[in-house]
Chain A
Amino acid sequence: MHYPWWYVPFLTSPMLIALVSVFHVLVSHYAVGGGLFLAYETQYAHRSKSKHYLDYLKQHAWFFILITVVYGAITGVGIWWTIGLASPLATEALIHIFVFGWAIEWVFFVIEIVSAFIFYYFWSKLEPEIHIRIGWIYAGAAWISLVLITGITAFMLHSGSWPENRTFWAAFLNPQFLPQTLARTGGSLLLASLYVFLHASFKVKDDKLRNLIGKRSVKPALCGSLLTAIGAGLWFVFLPESARLALASASVLNVLTAVIFALTTAVFIMMYVGPYRNPSWISPGFAILFLAFGFGAVATGEFIREAVRKPYIVYNVVMSNQVYADEIPALQRDGYLQSGTWTRAFVAANYPQMMNDGRIDNSRLLDLPERDQVKLGEVLFQYHCNDCHAGAAGYMAMGTLLHGWTPDMIRHMIDNLHIIRFFMPPWCGTAQEAALLTRYLSQIAPEQPAGMYYGKE
């Protein structure tokens, strides 16, 4: 509305955020947990003078750099790219609130990168104690960057007292901050161990060494599981009521919640009976399956975390349709087309007869020919609805949701959007604009499916 909307057919542009983010978190958590693993284990290997283990850890550090410093860093920047394109207003808000949070995170990124490269490239050239210290510098910097970004993503789920106080700290220290920090720290430890199992299963031929790696990396994984469970419990307790109800009422989320519990339990059991009790079980097949379960649990968790925020992108601050919650009364009064920079420009360029003294004359919108009313309805759909819904076909497409709906039913739904579904934003336009959107949706609403039988009198 204030920015041009990016129309991505079938998928909707915000789904690109989800795609990039999922691939990023699978690596970014490893960047933290793997850093802690390398620091702790290098310390152990140096102090126990275990040359074999040190050699393995060097190999693992190279694998770690190739995955995290390249792919992790680029997908992190990729998220930024995508949110700016697909969710510009929320990004504008977050950048204004958290610019110094991100700037501080960048300081720690620099430390991470410099220490990671020195840790690996000067592996046998540094004094052991200095090498260990550099490993811990990396691990500390990586964990702090996790804490910083979690403060920001947690704010999106629960803005806490920020709407009243409007300070950085009110935003950062939100109710979801601690639960999500615990859960993500645990997830990092757990996921790192799964990466270690995978790497060791392919690279280590010596059974004794593989057993040592299995035994040593299973303990942080079990601790990680515990931390994740505590974090997830607190996450649920500190959810805003709307998010908790969304979790309970959306059948997809019910299923996914069950999936995440099943996958996490499976990983925990596999961890106990596998590497903990029988370290020799770590084979490539076992490790791949293990990592796949871990990826499944993390990706599902991220999806749920995103989904329960609706109807907000930032709880009580930015709505899912790219308007500030504070703006809604003015939009309902003045009109959505009039209030949006690009929607107003569209009307001014294509329907100059609708403009009166530089403003859209709402009262005349329904005087337009039907074809133009449908066109403006489509504009409203793009800017008001396409964040979450594709048009005729695609992701959560209105075409599939409106089978057999009459114009009156559609109009009723638009007028009562947030009441019929509390995870939808309220209608943010005038009555005339609701009529325009109704016209467009009626055009793409298919017939009731044929051949359905409801009995005979």
Chain B
Amino acid sequence: MDPNQLIGPMSPMGYPAPYWFLVFFKVLGFTLHMIAMNVWYIGILLCMGLYWRGSEHGKRLSGRLMNQMPVIISIGVNLGIVPLLFLQVAYYRVFYPATILMAWTWFSVFFLLTVAYYGVYYYVIGLRKGDAALVAGRKLAGWVSAVLFIVIGFIFANAMSLMAHVKGWPDIWFLTSKAGAALGTGHNLGDGTLYPRWLLMIGLAIMTTSAYITLDTALFARRESEDYRRWAWRFSFTVYSVGLVWFALAGSHYVFASWPVELRAAMFSGPRAILTVATALLPGLPWLLLLLKRKTMTVAGAGLIGASHLLTLAANAISRQVVQNESIRPYLDVTAEPVTTQWSPLILFLLLFIAGVGVVIWLLAKAVQAAKAAPAH
């Protein structure tokens, strides 16, 4: 069957804003979402491991990060709304069919996330009460949450890769349907790009967690001992190095072994080649800065590492977007839909977005002031 037959008609309403606007917010939102998501994705696993087998400093770091995890998860889930919203506006013709074909798995994210999130809270409540309160049940909850988040990430990789793997839809549909209606039990495990794509995100998550440890130590751990801070920076360098090697291996496999020839040709020609190479090389920059600064880290140095890693994530998000468009292009040109710009809601959104950023900055400033004024514990 020609998979083109499974692409539905355009919405009669047209895009509510130009494509570039939709995709800008999709990529921006995904970049911001990745910061928090990466930290909990590998961070929880790392913290559980450090608490279980780590040194004194390792346990301290584990406690510090896990204590922040409920807030990180909340903000990350919230930031995930933006890319998902704009994804549904611009990519609805591939997003809905792909997720419906694997509906039960996609639907399960909601339950898994609830359990994982409450598991983190259950662990953290024990953590805040001291070591004695971290009973076996709470530790188990922490490990279960860590595993569930890994599973959720794999489901996301499955759905997002299936969205771009239109060629695989007919087989999945025929195998998992009743009288033409999807049973929702499909998956994209047969897609060669799925595993390297997922592993690539794990590599990014390891590096992001390391960059976050660097920032946490420089900005929020001033009341910790100097010895701890030095250890944390050395540790974050080790973690980043592992992430970098992981990223390089998974990325090489993703690009050179799983991409179709046409996609590779497209991503290595013209300006896209610069983007592809930059995406591959950029993680080296925070690593170099960590290498140079790990013994004499300053707030500015940590900020630079954070900023350069943010650049890494942004390049990755942009590349992913270009790859997604290239993969879908034989079936759908997402840039070709008619546009009926909703000017006044669009402007209102932008104004409120700016105002909202202002309010959040004010709130954070008050929190920082209060934290500085509070006595040390």
Q: Encode A129-172 as 1/0 by CB contact (under 8 A) with B.
A: 01000100100000000000000000000000000001111000
- In angstroms, Cα B21 to Cα A449, docked, is 61
Contact residues of B between 74 and 120, Cβ < 8 Å to A: 74-75, 77-82, 84-86, 88-89, 92, 95-97, 99-101, 103, 106-107, 109-110, 113-114, 117-118
Q: Is the CB of B359 within 8 A of A348?
A: no
B307 within 8 A of A: no
Min Cβ gap A276→B in Å is 35
Residue on B nearest A16 in the bound complex, by CB: B107
Question: Which listed residue (A16, A109, A118) contacts B367, Cβ 8 A?
Answer: A118
A96 pairs with B14, CB closer than 8 A: yes
- In the complex, which residues of chain A have a beta carbon less than 8 angstroms from the beta carbon of B340? 166
B106 x A81 contact (CB < 8 A): yes
Inter-chain contacts of B11 with A (CB < 8 A): 92-93, 96
Q: Does the CB pair B359–A137 fall under 8 Å?
A: yes
CB-based nearest A residue for B373: A125
Q: Which residues of chain B are near A111, meaning CB under 8 Å?
A: 356, 359-360, 363
B348 within 8 A of A: yes
B181 close to A386 (CB less than 8 A) = yes
Q: Which residues of A contact B352 (CB under 8 A)?
A: 104, 107
Nearest Cβ on chain B to A189's Cβ, whole angstroms: 24
Interface of B is mostly: helix
- The A-B contact count (CB < 8 A) is 223
**Chain A, 348-383, CB within 8 A of any chain B CB:** 348-349, 375, 378-379, 381-383
Of the candidates A6, A81, A125, which one forms a contact with B182 in the assembled complex, judged by CB atoms under 8 Å apart? A6
From B141-149, B172-180, B320-328, give the one contacting chain A.
B172-180
Q: Is A320 an interface residue (CB 8 A)?
A: no
Number of chain A residues whose Cβ lies closer than 8 Å to a Cβ of chain B: 77
How far is the CB of A171 from the nearest CB of chain B, in Å? 10
B121 at the interface (CB under 8 A from A): yes
Contact with B along A62-103 (1 / 0, CB 8 A): 000010011101110110111011001001110111011111
How far does the Cβ of B283 sit from chain A's closest Cβ, in whole Å?
28
Partner of A326 from the list B6, B12, B97, B366 (CB cut-off 8 Å) is: B12
In the complex the two chains form, is A85's CB within 8 Å of B184's CB? Answer: yes
Q: How far in angstroms is the closest Cβ of chain A from B174?
A: 7
Contact, CB under 8 Å: B349 / A104: yes
Interface residues of B in 349-374 (CB under 8 A from A): 349, 352-353, 355-356, 359-360, 363-364, 366-367, 370-371, 373-374
Given contacts A7-B183, A70-B121, A122-B370, contact A77 B77 (CB under 8 A): yes
Assembly CA distance A3 to B163 (angstroms) = 13
Q: Does B296 sit within 8 A of A, measured CB to CB?
A: no
Nearest CB to that of A123 among chain B residues? B370
Known contacts A88-B96, A341-B5; decide if A169 and B181 are in contact (CB<8 Å): no
| Partner of A96 from B89, B100, B355 at Cβ < 8 Å | B89
Residues B100 and A88 in contact, CB atoms below 8 Å apart: yes
A114 at the interface (CB under 8 A from B): yes
Q: Which residue of B82, B95, B113, B117 contacts A106 across the interface (Cβ within 8 Å)?
A: B82
A8 contacts B by Cβ under 8 Å: yes
For residues 122 through 173 of chain B, which have their beta carbon under 8 Å from a beta carbon of chain A?
170, 173
Residue of B nearest to A119 (CB): B363
Give me the interface of A with B, judged by CB distance under 8 Å.
2-8, 13, 16, 20, 66, 69-71, 73-75, 77-78, 80-82, 84-85, 88, 91-93, 95-97, 99-104, 106-111, 113-115, 117-118, 121-122, 125-127, 130, 134, 137, 166-169, 324, 326, 341-346, 348-349, 375, 378-379, 381-383, 386
Could you write out 30 A-B pairs with CB less than 8 Å apart?
A4-B173, A4-B177, A7-B181, A20-B110, A71-B114, A73-B74, A74-B117, A81-B109, A82-B110, A84-B95, A84-B99, A85-B106, A88-B100, A95-B85, A95-B88, A100-B17, A103-B353, A104-B348, A104-B352, A109-B78, A110-B78, A111-B360, A115-B363, A118-B366, A137-B359, A343-B180, A344-B5, A383-B180, A383-B181, A386-B181
